Amino acid sequence: MNPVGHNTNAHAELVKEGIDRINWVDRHSPVLNGLVRTAMRDGSLEGVKIAVVVHLEAKTAFLASILADAGADVIAAGSNPLTTNGSVVEALRDRGMIVVSEPDGNHESWEKELLAAADLEPEYIIDDGAELTMRIGMHRPEIFKKLKGVSEETTTGTARLYAMEAAGLLPFPALTANDARCKHLFDNRYGTGQTTVQAVLRLTNRKMAGAKVAIIGYGYVGRGIAEYAKKLGAQVFVAETDPVRALEAHFDGMFVGKSTDIVRDASIVITATGGMRALGRPEFEVLKHDAVLANAGHHDLEVDVDTLAEMAANVIENRAQISTYELGKRAIHVLSGGALVNIAGGSGHPVEIMDLTFAVQGLGAHHLVNTDLKPGVHVLPKHVDDQIAAAKLSSMGIHLEPPRPEQEDDFKDWLTGIQST
């Protein structure tokens, strides 16, 4: 067989793999296939240019496909250079979709990909971390002024949008999909919680029972990881700068303390802050030998790998996606290069969870297109959030009943009595 034929066959196999991955998501996404597709049949997305900038794997591809099926002109890009799946990229291109991202990239190539997406001048963005939104604002100001709306996936991106709004730099409406209850109550807690623990155990072949696990950050993501680790028998320690969240961690039965204290004896340390350099030199100096570091937050820089490399005498790749940094007599292991371990080192969130999250994103985009919203940050209306939850329950054969008349509060009658006196 000649090289051209071989490459053609290899590409066909890659496309098939991507299609198979997307079809698996299709099989397990009743809300997207029901409620969301039904809402989009009104034709309002026909010809609308939407950039989908989320971790580019099968579940994101399925959301992009649903938008395309509704008539939208979709631009697909990855929100992280280390989480783009090559087979999914080729499957989307095979169906004629514009994909600007490639697998196995780095931060430099990723920046170019995002600017390529910007240059295609999307009208709306489904974003993750406000990564494309920020870059359009910084590098393509004329395109930024023309944006009609953004639907944001993450806690980090939501914080960035609120900061832009406070600075008077948000000239269009933005929905914080992250603040929808059907997103953060399930995606952040159950999705990231389960898959982070799964990825750490799969990559390291270590046990969780009896392990001392330190978690940096106790938002919904950190809480979910803590719950799953604790249920598997780990001793869980938490560092948190927010006093209310720290108190909550204490009441949840976690050991709470400063980061430099809780990581000293930890065999596994997981960052979940959504911020930058949650683990840096102060923590690296006190880590014990053979500690494993993993990141479950938004930024690849939550573990300050560059500083760790400066401190290390040598770096060894012991296993796939495990980099070992030798600090004197101590060996410190970093998973997936500090990227999101559950995606770069695993399969990402469970399909059933992303059925909820991407229902929020899909209906969020539909809401932006069909609603005259003022510039600023908005939350998905409660009735839409409720519809998503009800559709998910219905897909599982669970149906709710409204309160009976005798169960309703008689407060309204009391108010009527006051008004009549």
pLDDT for 2 equals 41
pTM of the model: 0.89
Q: How many CB atoms lie within 10 A of CB 288?
A: 13
Three-class SS state of 188: helix
Tell me which of 298 and 63 has the higher pLDDT. 63
DSSP classification of residue 167: T
Tell me the residue length of the chain: 421
User: Where in the chain are all domains bearing CATH 3.40.50.720?
Assistant: 189-344
For residues 160 and 151, give the distance between their C-alpha atoms in angstroms, rounded to a whole number.
13
- One DSSP character per residue, 314-352 reads EEEEEETTEEEEEETTEEEEEEGGGSBHHHHSS--S-HH
Q: Tokens for 370?
A: 């069909």
CB-based contacts of 262, cutoff 8 Å, min separation 6: 214, 237, 238, 239, 255, 256
**Between 3-27 and 58-69, two packed helices, what is the crossing angle to 10 degrees?**
80
Q: Which among 139, 79, 138 is positioned nearest to 298, based on CA atoms? A: 79
pLDDT, tens digit (0-9, with 9 covering 90-100), for 230-253: 999 999 999 999 999 999 999 999
Q: Residue 335: name the closest of 202, 154, 235 by CA.
A: 202
Q: How far is CA 232 from the centre of its chain?
A: 24
Average pLDDT across the chain, whole number: 94
Q: Would you state the pLDDT for residue 143? A: 97
Residue 5 has pLDDT above 70, yes or no: no
What is the dihedral sign for C-alpha 365, 355, 208, 331?
Answer: negative
- Band the pLDDT of 347: cuts 50, 70, 90: confident
pLDDT tier, 421 (very low <50, low <70, confident <90, very high otherwise): low
pLDDT 10s digits, 24-60? 999 999 999 999 999 999 999 999 999 999 999 999 9
Q: Which CATH number fits domain 3-183+349-395: 3.40.50.1480, 3.40.47.10, 3.40.50.12500, 3.40.50.970?
A: 3.40.50.1480
Please give the Cα distance from 132 to 137 (Å, whole number): 9
Please check the confidence at residue 3 and state whether its pLDDT lies above 60. Answer: no
* Rounded Cα–Cα distance for residues 376 and 236 (Å): 39
Q: What is the pLDDT of residues 71-80, one digit of tens each?
A: 999 999 999 8
Question: Once rounded to an integer, what is the mean pLDDT over residues 325-337?
Answer: 96
Report yes or no: 206 and 267 within 8 Å, Cβ to Cβ: yes
Give the architecture (CATH level 2) of 189-344: 3-Layer(aba) Sandwich (3.40)
Q: What mean pLDDT is predicted for residues 113-127? A: 98
Q: Which of 199-203, 210-214, 398-402 has the lowest mean pLDDT?
A: 398-402
In the chain, where does the domain assigned CATH 3.40.50.1480 lie?
Answer: 3-183+349-395
Mean pLDDT of 139-145: 97
pLDDT of residue 25: 97
What pLDDT digit, counting tens, does each position of 99-117 carry? 999 999 998 999 999 999 9
DSSP 8-state code for residue 313: S
Side chain identity at 192, as an amino acid letter? T
> Residue 377 is encoded by which pair of tokens?
């940050």
Distance CA 66, CA 32 (A): 8
Query: How high is the pLDDT of residue 420?
Result: 65
Contact 125, 172 (CB under 8 A): no
